[in-house]
Chain A
Amino acid sequence: MSVTPTAVQPLPRGGMARLVGRRAIDWLPAVVVFVAIIGLWELLIRALDVQEFLLPKPSAIATTFWDTRHELWSQGWFTFQEALWGFLLGSGFAILVALVLARWRPLGAAFMPYAIAANAIPIIAFAPITNVWFSPLDKSSKVSIVAVLCFFPVMVNTLRGLTSVNPRALELMESYAAGQLQIFRRVRVPTALPFIFTGLRVATVLAMIGAVVGEYFGGALNALGVQILQNARVARFREAWAGILMACLLGIALYLAIAAIERLTLRWAPSTSD
């Protein structure tokens, strides 16, 4: 019997290709859709003469964004730091808690219903409260709300991953007389990784939402959310939209960064793109 290795599809090689996961040509349809939507938006506003307070032209938003890029970057960076620290704290703590709950299952059984329930409540509603607990001008009031927002999806996903191991895989480790710690390190954690990254990707989105919306309830003058709110109040809609665009770009950047780390970590998986 002979089998040739060439019969099997090789892994994609190369740094960029691996990070992006597709070739440039595969992105073409998405780019076409993007250009079409922006073009249509611009055209409709010109054709129907839509008032700026309803929706500014994309070209106007882009111009304002470019003209105020330094201020926007400084405000965005301020807010991004809140989002990032909240994300790191909340997710890190969530993974630790999930490890503990997976190790001591009765504990997990006791806490899980509340974790799932907490996942369903609008935690962002607590933002005014954290603004009282900490000073609204202080980053820690937003960091804390972001951390709580990120905690639940990461914790629930991590715990699900740690406990959804194929029973045969555990029997196999038992047959090698492996200890609990070895089983954890070599089977449970690798099995959980794709689940953890799913949780982290959800958390990146929540992090930016939490930071910006938290600032709507009061924050430092140099915060993106505060600026968006004030500009909208005084009818500076282009500036408000430029701020929203900055928030979007930063949110996407955080998401893509996590997706890239996921790709590098889960190189073994048949497909981690979605």
Chain B
Amino acid sequence: MSVVAIKNVTKVFGETTALQGIDFVIQEGEFVSLIGPSGCGKSTLLRIIGDLIQPTSGTAMVNGKPARQARIDRDYGIVFQDAVLYDWRTVAKNIALPLELARWDRRRRAAKVNEMLGLVELGGFEDHYPWQLSGGMQQRVAIARALSFDPSLLLMDEPFGALDEMTRERLNMELLRIWEASGSTVVFVTHSIAEAVFLSTRVVVMSPRPGRISDVVTVDLTQPRTATTREEPRFFELVTAVREALHLGHDLEQAPA
């Protein structure tokens, strides 16, 4: 069964058409990146999947039900560019927040928080407050929080965009490990071609004005990806393919109507 099914979605904000005629399907266990220049509507598309924005026309289905029902059923976890941790809650309590809202009892919450701390390798930091953590650590807390209630879908909106290159590459590896361990489906918005190719099983290339899908690149690199994946010739070929698809989308925009 498809985890995400977008059918003919269009989104109009005032005079601007943010998305036009978007169609795509994501299968269970996939890692799909949405890539494109600013204004191509990739974050808007992610929010439509999460039912944080409603499409002007068309439908978004998650796990075979309308996106709204999926949100109410807590079928997905979301991570933003900034960690959006609640300053007044410790690391453990931040991770436990969705569990509190889902009315898990205290003991079950504590056990799950411990498990998540282990998953994102933050054992020993449970009683720290967000301001005491580095940016990379904060983002790992955000990931642990998004996965704490075992959602089948993980939505990520440029989660590593504000981090330095070293931290970003390390968190990329960690994310892949977490993806494998949790078995969830990931939709990942990014600006970085290399990051998209390295992480994904498929890269959805988008172009702006109006936002639309200009190409889909299937990434056939061997799993699991390792540090040397970035040095394989096939990695460079795929990076080139995505880059060309992006430029083609750009040219389409420039072409006279």
Contact = CB atoms under 8 A, between A and B. Distances in A.
Interface of A: 1-5, 8-9, 11, 166, 168-169, 171-172, 174-178, 182, 186-187, 190, 193, 266, 268-270
Interface in B160-208: 170, 174
Interface string B73-98: 11011101010101111100000011
Contact of A9 (B102, B132, B170): B132
B86 A190 contact: yes
Contacts of A171: 47, 52, 78, 80
Which of B50, B71, B87, B98: most chain A CB closer than 10 A? B87
Nearest to B126: A5
A269 B80 contact: no
B1 interface: no
B121 A269 contact: no
Contacts of A178: 101
Contacts of A11: 129, 132
Contacts of A4: 124
A186 B101 CA distance: 10
A1 B86 contact: no
5 contacts: A1-B174, A11-B132, A172-B84, A175-B50, A176-B102
A195 to B, nearest CB: 13
A1 B131 CA distance: 21
Contacts, number: 71
Interface string B42-73: 00000100101000000000000000000111
A1 B97 contact: no
A169 B86 contact: yes
Given A186-B97, A187-B86, A269-B87, A177 B131 contact: no
Contacts of A190: 86-88
Contacts of B235: none
B133 A8 contact: yes
Contact of A177 (B72, B90, B100): B72
Contacts of B125: 3, 5, 8
B132 A8 contact: yes
A175 B71 contact: yes
A3 B137 contact: yes
Contact of A175 (B78, B102, B121, B170): B78
Contacts of A166: 84
Contacts of A9: 132
B247 interface: no
The 5 A-B residue pairs with the shortest CB-CB distance in the complex, in nearest-first order: A5-B124, A270-B131, A268-B88, A190-B88, A168-B84
A166 B72 CA distance: 22
B134 to A, nearest CB: 8
A228 B226 CA distance: 80
Nearest to A178: B101
B225 interface: no
B4 to A, nearest CB: 15
Interface string B104-131: 0000000000000000011011001101
